[in-house]
Chains A and B, each alone.
Chain A
Amino acid sequence: MPIDAAHAKQGKAARAIALRAGLKCLKLIQQTLMNDSKKRLIKGNEAIAVAAIDAGCRYFFSYPITPQSDIPEYLSRHLPEVGGTFLQAESEIAAINMVLGASAAGARAMTSSSGPGISLKQEGISYMASDELPALIVNISRTGPGLGGIAASQGDYFQATKGGGHGDYRTIVLAPYSVQEMYDLTIKGFDLADKYRMPVMILADSVLGQMKEPVAMVGKKKSTAIKKDWALTGCEGRRPHVIKSLYLDGDKSIEHNWKLFKKYQKIQKNEVMCEIKDCIDADIILIAFGSAARIAKTSIEMAQEKGIKVGMLRPITLFPFPNQQIEDLSKDIKKILVVEQNTGQMVEDVLISVSKNAKVTFYGKPTGNALEAEEILGQIEKLKNKKGFNR
């Protein structure tokens, strides 16, 4: 009997719905996992670069910043081999605007950076959201605020998921937690960008960027990009196309903003991805994304060895956020532990998602040094023994 059906029988209907949704979510990115024949041992940053070429991206514009420099370095060597263009721009701002131009011309285009550079790119990202231009933007984030440091951090969650630049817009945000997902989600990111005509962001960090793991690859594929009949190509045989974001007319501005909003609603409905693991009999759900989820997975295994029933929900899309899945699971699993490598950002989205009686505990800290599995285990044990709940 499938696990969800088993639960439906036990009357844990809400949990069953969530599990079913979780399985469906995972299928969305497992296209390459079945294919073991072409595995290569590579770094996370390199996986993104290889995936970009495999996804048919031929235009890359960026500015150097640690800890993402492996991406431009790889592409400066390998994009020209496939007839692509690598351009090291004079600034982060110029780089994102070159992406804007290449995207307006209909090409799959990309840039990568890290926190401080992503802040500078926000102007261009906002324009592209309004222009409805697709592109992939990679943030191998570092600690902040300000110049911060180069260690892994999840402090850019708010910036990535709540728009980031000026105006009422969102970008799709994908959060890999393995080198395989760095590869898979890069390809997925280009497809989503083209499908919805909007910028898509990969939010990872230096742990994911610098670690090496075996990765299964699809190989160079012909771009699955949809035909871009809106692109600027010169107006041969048709009326001129205009790509713009200026709407001085009040009614048109309102109409444009509603149009964008409806697109984001559609994305919220159709594109949520999350991994739900070991929640069948769980008393506690741990919610974490990216590198924090990777570390917490070890903590969960340690806890399970000690007989603690703890499962995990790992958001893979941070926008759209798996609000519904969290609500469903929290209907009959009341202890929820949110773990982040920051002082508490995603936890706000968890708090607005959980059902009424669920109690949310947060554990996180600003990094410089990564979280350790043992300290998260300590939190799980504390929560298990707790009679009342933290909030």
Chain B
Amino acid sequence: MKQVFERPESLKEVSFHFCPGCHHGIIHRIVAEVIDKLEVRTRTIGVSSVGCSVFLYDYFNIDVCEAPHGRAPAVATGVKRVYKDRIVFTFQGDGDLAAIGTSEIIHTANRGENITVIFVNNTVFGMTGGQMAPTTMLGQETTTTPLGRSFIGDGYPIKMSEMLATLEGCSFVARVAVNTPANVRKARKAILKAFEMQVNNMGFSFVEVLSACPTNWKMSPQDALKRIKDELIPYFPLKIFKEKTIPDTL
């Protein structure tokens, strides 16, 4: 029988532990497919973060270093400075990257560090049980915003891609979603582009992926997909914010 669909070599032969309807598995798979496509598996080093994405090393068939909460871009900087010819990427959630790790992500981007960051934005702290994240939508009920997030006191949901795109050091910044097959294809294309940027020494590349967290949103997986379409995408538009074509040189 002809095999038409197979596990990427960059993923281990294990099942994902993620909750039903969670998009981490899809995003893991896309990253693995891209690593396979670029044939860089044996020279790629992943940096996991704190939150649901910490288990990167359980699923990816590559070398992985765990980073403290929010520090993945700094850890990746250390790795990349030692091995300039290796492919180094971080995989971070919004609690990690957009809250405790804002300093590290901004300065790593601003240095134009030649790494790739995959930013999973599900508008909530997932692993700790659904607390408010900086990306939580106005009115969204979480365990720490029981009456819904209010801009008075809690501020507005932070748009990381838009912010980072203003920095000269960034070579590629895009926001994608994986809520429909068409969007999955676009996400794959953006993540491939981000890794290609690194392969071509173009500097810092960043892809934000809007992701569902049905468990903490207290929704069915179907309703979570609908929320991404109706609520998240209008506020967090899907687009390529920045794409350099010529590398910065002295």
A interface residues with partner B (beta carbon < 8 Å): 59, 61, 85, 87, 89-91, 93-95, 97-107, 109, 123-124, 127, 131, 232-237, 240-246
Contact = CB atoms under 8 A, between A and B. Distances in A.
A98 B75 contact: yes
A236 B43 contact: yes
26 contacts: A59-B82, A87-B81, A89-B74, A90-B107, A100-B71, A101-B75, A101-B80, A102-B82, A103-B78, A104-B75, A105-B83, A109-B78, A124-B68, A127-B66, A232-B63, A233-B45, A233-B63, A234-B63, A234-B83, A235-B42, A235-B61, A240-B64, A241-B64, A242-B57, A242-B65, A243-B65
A127 B49 CA distance: 13
Scoring A59, A101, A242, A246 by chain B CB atoms within 10 A of each residue's CB, the highest score goes to: A101
A241 B45 CA distance: 9
B62 interface: yes
Nearest to A104: B65
Given A90-B104, A234-B86, A235-B42, A243 B64 contact: yes
A101 B45 CA distance: 11
Nearest to B74: A97
B83 A94 contact: no
Contact of A102 (B47, B60, B81): B81
A234 B44 contact: yes
A105 B85 CA distance: 12
Given A97-B104, A233-B86, A235-B42, 20 more contacts: A85-B82, A89-B74, A90-B106, A93-B71, A93-B74, A94-B71, A97-B74, A99-B78, A100-B71, A100-B75, A102-B82, A103-B78, A107-B82, A123-B68, A232-B63, A232-B79, A234-B63, A234-B86, A240-B60, A242-B57
Nearest to A236: B42
A94 B103 contact: yes
Given A101-B78, A242-B57, A234 B42 contact: yes
B14 to A, nearest CB: 13
Contacts of B48: 244
A253 to B, nearest CB: 15
B69 to A, nearest CB: 8
B54 interface: yes
B66 A246 contact: yes
B41 interface: yes
- Report the 6 A-B pairs with minimum CB-CB distance, sorted nearest first: A101-B78, A97-B74, A90-B107, A234-B43, A105-B82, A102-B78
A167 B106 CA distance: 29
Contacts of A100: 65, 67-68, 71, 74-75, 78
B132 interface: no
A327 B175 CA distance: 65
A12 B193 CA distance: 76
Contact of A235 (B63, B67, B80): B63
B61 A240 contact: yes
B112 to A, nearest CB: 13
B41 A235 contact: yes
Contact of A101 (B57, B60, B79): B79
Interface in B95-115: 103-104, 106-107
Contacts of B77: 87, 94, 98, 101
Given A103-B78, A105-B82, A242 B71 contact: no
Given A85-B81, A232-B79, A234-B83, A240 B68 contact: no
Contact of B78 (A104, A131, A233, A242): A104
Nearest to A101: B78
Contacts of A131: 66
B76 interface: yes
Nearest to B42: A236
A59 B67 CA distance: 18
Contacts of A85: 81-82
